[in-house]
Amino acid sequence: MEGVVLLSVLELWGPVYRRTESLKHVNISNKEVTASSRHYVDRLFDLDPQKVLQGVMLLYLLQQETSSTELRTECAVVLGSLAMGTENNVKSLLDCHIIPALLQGLLSPDLKFIEACLRCLRTIFISPVTPEDLLYADATVISHLMALLSRSRYTQEYICQIFSHCCKGPDHQTILFNHGAVQNIAHLLVSTSYKVRMQALKCFSVLAFENPQVSMTLVNVLVDGELLPQIFVKMLQRDKPIEMQLTSAKCLTSMCRAGAIRTDDSCIVLKTLPCLVRMCSKERLLEERVEGAETLAYLIETDVELQRIASITDHLIVMLADYFKYPSSVSAITDIKRLDHDLKHAHELRQAAFKLYASLGANDEDIRKKIIETENMMDRIVNGLSESSIKVRLAAVRCLHSLSRSVQQLRTSFQDHAVWKPLMKVLQNAPNEILVVASSTLCNLLLEFSPSKEPILESGAIELLCSLTQSENLALRVNGIWALMNMAFQAEQKIKSDILRGLSTEQLFQLLSDSDVNVLMKTLGLLRNLLSTRPHIDHIMSTHGKQIMQAVTLILEGEHNIEVKEQTLCILANIADGTTAKELIMTNDDILQKIKYYMSHSNAKLQLAAMFCISNLIWNEEEGSQERQDKLRDMGIVDILHKLSQSSDPNLCDKAKTALQQYLA
C-alpha cells in the first residue's frame, strides 16, 4: 500500500506553490507553523525528488490525532495548494483517498482546521476529474456539512461552493433538499460577506433547476421578512455585480419554468427577462453573453408572450447576429491570448445564439420571419449543421426545427438554401439527441405544401425513415412513422408502394402493436393516408388486404382509447370506399358485426366513424350496392339507422338520414 502512496505523491508533483499565499486564506501566520510542519512542507517544495517523497507524510500527518492541530491545519493547506495544480495532481490525491481523510478532519473541534479541510475539499470538488458522488457516499456527511454552515463565513462560503458544484441532477437535489438545504442556506443570501451571498445564490440556482419541488418551496421562504423572489429581484439590479445579476436571473428562471412564478409576473416580465437580454449585449464578456442567451432561451422556450416581449427588447434578434462573428479576423487581433479566448468561446456563442433563436421562433410567424431575414441567417444554420462540435450541431438543428414550423419559410427560404441536403446528411450518422430533432424537422419538410418534399424523396428518405421506425428510441420511432405519414399524404401510388415495401408487413404489425399510443396513432395515420383515392385503395388492398384487415380486427378488439378506435374505423371507411376493396369488408362477417357494434356505441365519435363505413358500403350509384344493402338490412343495420335518425346529436342524425335515403332511392 505504501508503494502506491509514494507513486501517487510523485505524480502529484506539479508547479511549485508559495506556501504563504495558501496560508493566508485560513488566517495562519508563518509564526504559528511549527518547526516540525515546516520540515515536511520545505521537503515538499524541494527540488530533490528523494526529499519530495517525504511529502507523502502530509496526508499521514493530517490523519494523526496525535499531531498538533497547527501541523494538521498546515497539511490541509498545502494539500489544497497541490489540488490547485494540474488535473493529474487531483487524480493522484483522489487515489490517495484524500476525500475520506478530509471529511474525517471535519469532525475536529478546531475551527481553523475545519476551515482548512473544507477549503481543500472545495478545491478538489470543483475539479472536473472529481466524481460528485463521492460527496454522497456516506449519508452522514451532508448532515454534518449542514451543521457546519453556522460556524463561520468561511465554512459558509466553502460548503455552499461544494454543494453547488456537486449538485448534478434530481437525485442530488433531493438529497440536499431533504437535508434542509433551503432552510439552512436561505439566510446566507443576506450575509455581510459578498462571497457567501454569491455562493448561496449559486446553490439555489442549481437546486431549483428543473425542480418543481424546490422551486415551489423557495417561493414561500421568508428571510428577514422578505420573500426569496423579492431578494432575487434585488440581486438583479444593474448596480449589482454581473455574476450576481446572472445567477439570480437563473434562480427566477427556474422558478418560473417550474410553475412557481407566473410567466406574466412583473418580476419575470420587467426584471428577469430584461436583465437576461442585457447580458446578451456587446458590452458583456463572451462567457456572460453565452450564459445570458442560454438562460433566456430556457425562460421563454414554452411561452408565446415572453417570446414576443423578448423579440422586441433591445433589438435582441439583431444583437444575436453578433454571436457568429467570433473569432474576429486574425489581422484585427494582435493579442494571442485574446485570439485563444475568442476561439474557446466561439463554439459556445454560436450554440447559445442558435438555442435562443430556436426559442424565439417557436410559435410566432412574424418573429420567424425577422430571424430568417437577419444577415446570412440561413447560411449560418446550414454551416452549423456540419460543425465539428456536437453541441453546436444540435443547437443548429433545433433552430432549423423551430423555423421549419413556418409554412411561408418552408416555401421560400428553406427551398432557396436547399436546407434538406445538409439535414439529410445529418440524419445519416448522428447521435440520437441530434437524430430526434433532425427527424422532427424532416417531418415538417415532408408536408404536402413543402417544395423540399420531392428532392428529399429522391435522396433515399424512405429507406432512412423505415429504419428509424425500428429504433429502440421511442422519439425516433414516432418521428420515423410521422414523416412517412406526411410523405404518404396525397402521394402518388409508386411512393405509397415504396413505403409499404420499405416497411414490410412484419414491421407494420410491430408498429401497430407498439406499447406507445403515439406510435400506434401515427401508424394508423400512415395507413389512412396510404388508403386514399380509389385506385390506390384497391391496389394496396389487392396486395396487402389480408394483413391490413387482420390488423384492423386486432385493434378493434384490443384495449385501446377512443381516438385509436376512431382512427381504425376511419381506415375501414376508406377501404369501404374502394371499388373492389369493399368486398374485403362485405365478406368478413366479424368486421361487419364490429361496425354494427360501434354504431350503437356510447361514444358519438365512434358511432359517426362506423356510419361512414356503412354509407360507403351502401352507396347507390355503385355496382353491387343492392346486394350489400340487403345483407346489411338482414343484419339489422336499417333498424339502427332509424334509431339514430332520432338522435339529439345533429351529426349522427344527419348521417343516419342520408344513409336511409340510399335505401329509398
Contact of 358 with 293, CB cutoff 8 Å: no
Cβ neighbours around 264 below 10 Å, total? 11
Tell me the pLDDT tens digit for each residue of 435-459: 999 999 999 888 877 788 888 888 8
Q: What residue has cell string 396510404?
A: 530
Average pLDDT over residues 165-169: 96
How many Å apart are CA 646 and CA 567, to the nearest integer? 26
Phi/psi class of residue 313: alpha, beta or left (left: φ > 0; alpha: ψ in -120 to 50)? beta
pLDDT at 556: 92
Q: What is the pLDDT of residues 185-200, one digit of tens each?
A: 999 999 999 999 999 9
Backbone angles phi, psi at 410, to 5 degrees: -60, -35
Residue with cell 451571498: 197
- The whole-angstrom separation of Cα 575 and Cα 583 is 9
Proportion of the chain above pLDDT 90, given as a percent: 69
Nearest to 214 by CA among 286, 263, 163: 163
What residue spans of 312-389 are helical by DSSP H? 316-321, 336-360, 365-373, 377-384
- Round the average pLDDT of the chain to a whole number and report it: 88
Q: Which residues pair with 222 in a beta bridge?
A: 227
Whole-angstrom Cα distance, residue 160 to residue 128? Answer: 17
Across the range 208-228, mean pLDDT stands at 96
pLDDT tens digits, one per residue of 621-632: 888 889 999 999
For the cut 60, the answer to whether the pLDDT of residue 346 exceeds it is: yes
How is residue 534 written as a grid cell? 380509389
Task: State the pLDDT at residue 282.
Answer: 92
Model confidence at 152: pLDDT above 50 = yes
* Residue 205: closest CA among 171, 245, 238, 239: 245
In the three-class reduction of DSSP (H, G, I as helix; E, B as strand; rest coil), residue 431 is classed as: coil
**Total Cβ atoms within 10 A of residue 248:** 26
Q: Between vectors from CA 54 to CA 49 and to CA 58, what angle results, nearest 5°?
A: 130
The answer to whether 59 touches 101, Cβ cutoff 8 Å, is yes
Least confident of 79-83, 129-133, 299-303: 79-83
Give 144's pLDDT tier (boundaries 50, 70, 90).
Answer: very high
C-alpha 76/C-alpha 121 separation (Å) is 9
Q: In a 3-state reduction of DSSP, which class is residue 137? A: coil
Q: CB under 8 Å to 566, separation ≥6 — which residues?
A: 605, 606, 609
CA 662 to mean position of chain CA atoms: 55
Banded pLDDT at 51 (limits 50, 70, 90): very low
**Separation CA 649–CA 665 (nearest Å):** 25
User: Given the DSSP bridges, would you call strands 222-223 and 226-227 parallel, antiparallel or unpaired?
Assistant: antiparallel
Beta-bridge partner residues of 226:
223
Which helix (H) or strand (E) segment holds residue 226: the answer is strand 226-227
Kindly give the interhelix angle for 98-105 and 111-125, rounded to the nearest 10 degrees: 150
Query: Longest Cα pair distance anywhere in the chain, in angstroms?
Result: 116
Distances in Å between the alpha carbon of 206 and those of 164, 169, 214? 6, 9, 10
CA distance 531 to 536: 6
What pLDDT was estimated at residue 85? 80
Q: 609-612, long-range: CB within 8 Å, 24+ apart, which pairs?
A: 609/565, 609/566, 609/569, 609/570, 609/573, 610/569, 611/644, 611/652, 611/655, 611/656, 611/659, 612/569, 612/570, 612/573, 612/576, 612/655
Residues written for the chain: 665
Backbone angles phi, psi at 191, to 5 degrees: -65, 155
* Residue 446: its H or E element: none
3-state secondary structure of 294: helix
In this structure, of 35-44, 157-166, 218-227, 611-620, the range with the lowest mean pLDDT score is 35-44
Q: What whole-number distance in Å separates Cα of residue 284 and Cα of residue 275? A: 12
Distance CA 373, CA 210 (A): 33
CA dist 620 → 225, 289, 572, 610, 657 (Å): 80, 70, 19, 18, 14
- What stretches of 513-603 show up as alpha helix (H) in DSSP? 517-530, 534-557, 562-576, 583-586, 589-599
Question: How big is the CA angle at 654 (ends 649 and 656), to the nearest 5 degrees?
Answer: 95
Residue 457 is predicted with a pLDDT of 85
Other beta carbons less than 10 A from residue 428's beta carbon:
10
- Cα distances from 604 to residues 565, 599, 648, in angstroms, run 12, 9, 11
Amino acid occupying residue 454: E
User: Structure pTM?
Assistant: 0.82
Burial 524-547 (b: 16+ CB within 10 A, else e): bbbbbbbbbbeebbbbbbeebbee
| pLDDT-above-70 percentage for the chain | 90
Whether the pLDDT of residue 539 is over 70: the answer is yes
Over the stretch 20-41, which tens digit does the pLDDT of each residue have?
Answer: 333 333 333 333 334 444 555 5
Q: Kindly tell me the number of DSSP H helices and DSSP E strands found in the chain.
A: 43, 2
Task: Give the mean model confidence (pLDDT) for residues 315-330.
Answer: 87
Distance, C-alpha 609 to centroid of its chain: 38
- The pLDDT of 330-336, averaged and rounded, is 59
CA–CA separation, 410 vs 451, rounded Å?
Answer: 7
37-46, 548-557, 588-597: the lowest-pLDDT one: 37-46
pLDDT (tens digit per residue) in 571-581: 999 999 999 99
